[in-house]
Amino acid sequence: MRFEAQPEFDSFSSSSLDSTTRRSEPEDTPDLALSGTLYVPDTSALIENPDGLDRLLSGGNVVVLMHQVVEELGGLQASRSKSEGVRHAARQVMRKLLEFRNAGAIHQGIERLLSGEAGPEDFEPTPEGGLLAWEPDVPAGPPYEKETGDNIILAGARCLGDQVALGLSDLHEVVVISEDSNLLLKCDAVDVAAENLRYGKVALERVEQVFRGVEEHEVDKEALEAFAASGAPGERWLDFDLVPGLEDREVPWNLGVILRCGDDDVVTRANAQECRLEDLRYGQYWDRKRDVYRPRPILGFSPRDPYQVLAMEFLLDPTVQLVVVDGPAGSGKTRMLVAAALYMLVGQPTKHRVSPQSEPLFPDYGYDNGLMLLRPEHASSQYELGFLPGDFESKLSPWLEPFFQAMRSIGFLNEHDFLSDLQATDRMTMLSTSMLRGLDIERSIVLVDELQNGDRHLAKTLMSRFCATSKVALAGCLDPVQIDNPYVDWRSNALTRIKETYKGFGPEVAQIRLEYNYRGPISTRADHL
């Protein structure tokens, strides 16, 4: 399958929202030509991507702003139960609306346009070429008469739809834009057109299409012989042209390629500059007694399949600054991240060696600021946890417990207390997603888990913190069941955004998707729940 370039993300220049542009004289503003579509965005859509409002207002579209949406946005700005990303997005939307208001670009009397009493020429369009209007106050109606936010928005959309159906204006369609599954289903039930916000999301149809970072290719015996003859173990290579499926295509940097020939497997990584596959240097070693490659044990953790070997290769490679590992629950993501980070910071602290045949690595990693741990604070339960007791670290510790559990397990294998070691030398920092602004992360190893629960705001804030002297390892699972943040889905969460944005970025970035759950048959069977 041919490697495709990074999917294009819609972009929008905030300079077009300058209030001075909005204050242009009416005679300089061209008449509004309606597209025929009236959009009703709900709160979840605006929170998912505040710039989506500008896109909805383009091309002669009419956008009706519900009073209930403004009420909910006001509540989200100061909500203590929502993440900083949600609060930031709410503030961003409110600032946009204030700019429109100050420019006189939010209109009253949308019913005059719908009834034909006024034409589009009677309303000043926004710079994007659309019309933004307030919604007439409409109470919730049957079959959803309860005064909830969703029902009020749905009632307003139905009322607008009834007026559009009369055919007295140039409008012919009313569409609700929402990220709320409940509201989308209610719209379907009462025959109101509704869809997700597409702007700012990856242009993919299935989660399986998100960049994997690893491919498998069948090769002939001659290709493996050419690879073996190219140099010593750790320095071998093979031209792309000798691998069916890689010739005459753009191969991204650090693509993991598993070469298969009968029962033999060879794990390699792509060098896009030299147009060749290269031997691994960190994730495996050459067993001279048996003349085979073996996974390299790191602090007692030994990769169990080629995907884990590739993940460990990039985690231990000091030239790779960003490593993104995704995979199902139980695939070893957290354990590998912790094992690699502890090895890079502490090395092999005792004489205990799980595999004596494996020679230890001695690179000068230089991450003297230690380890930073981060995880989006989204509970897997619908119930609120309330205020956690204790100081800052005590409040964050429950969220980061998977990291600590992995440290204790690896410490038991190595007869060494890594957690106490890092704490005693002041080389471990726990980060909160709400305190990243203005932070410079230098000479550190940063581990971020469960990133599928992060949003667009977290993705941008997080990735803009890292200096060239740091190593960043991100992990998560794109299974929709594993996404606990109600404001994102598999197309729009922080993990997907980062994976698609940094696909093929350069030698500093590597991505690997793991495949197998190794927790045992009980955990594996849970995939069918």
Mean pLDDT of 230-254: 93
Domain limits, the chain = 32-195, 207-528
**pLDDT attached to residue 21:** 37
Q: Is 14 a residue whose pLDDT tops 60? A: no
- Residue 289: partners with Cβ closer than 8 Å, 6 or more residues away: 357
CATH tag for 207-528 (out of 3.40.50.2300, 3.40.50.300, 3.30.360.10, 3.10.450.30): 3.40.50.300
Among 272, 356, 358, CA closest to 312: 358
**pLDDT attached to residue 335:** 95
Mean pLDDT of 370-399: 68
pLDDT in tens, 299-317: 989 999 999 999 999 999 9
**pLDDT attached to residue 352:** 57
How far apart are alpha carbons 52 and 55 in whole angstroms?
5
pLDDT in tens, 72-130: 999 999 887 777 778 888 999 999 999 999 999 999 988 899 988 998 888 989 988 99
Strand partners, 215: 257
Least-confidence region, from 79-83, 101-105, 276-280, 345-349 = 79-83
Local confidence band at 456 (pLDDT 50, 70, 90 cut-offs): confident
Name the pTM for this structure: 0.77
- Residue 291: partners with Cβ closer than 8 Å, 6 or more residues away: none
Higher pLDDT, 137 or 503: 503
- CATH H superfamily, domain 32-195: 5'-nuclease (3.40.50.1010)
Q: How many CA atoms lie within 13 A of 441 on its CB side?
A: 26
Fold agreement (32-195, 207-528): yes
**Residue 60 — left, alpha, or beta (φ > 0 → left; ψ -120 to 50 → alpha)?**
left
Q: Is 53 a residue whose pLDDT tops 50? A: yes
Is residue 134 within 8 Å of 63, Cβ to Cβ?
A: no
**Percent of the chain clearing pLDDT 70 (strictly above):** 88
User: Would you list the DSSP string of 390-427?
Assistant: SSHHHHHTTTTHHHHHHHHHHHHHHT--HHHHHHHTT-
Catalogue the E-assigned strands of 419-501: 428-430, 445-448, 471-476
Strand partners, 63: 39, 132
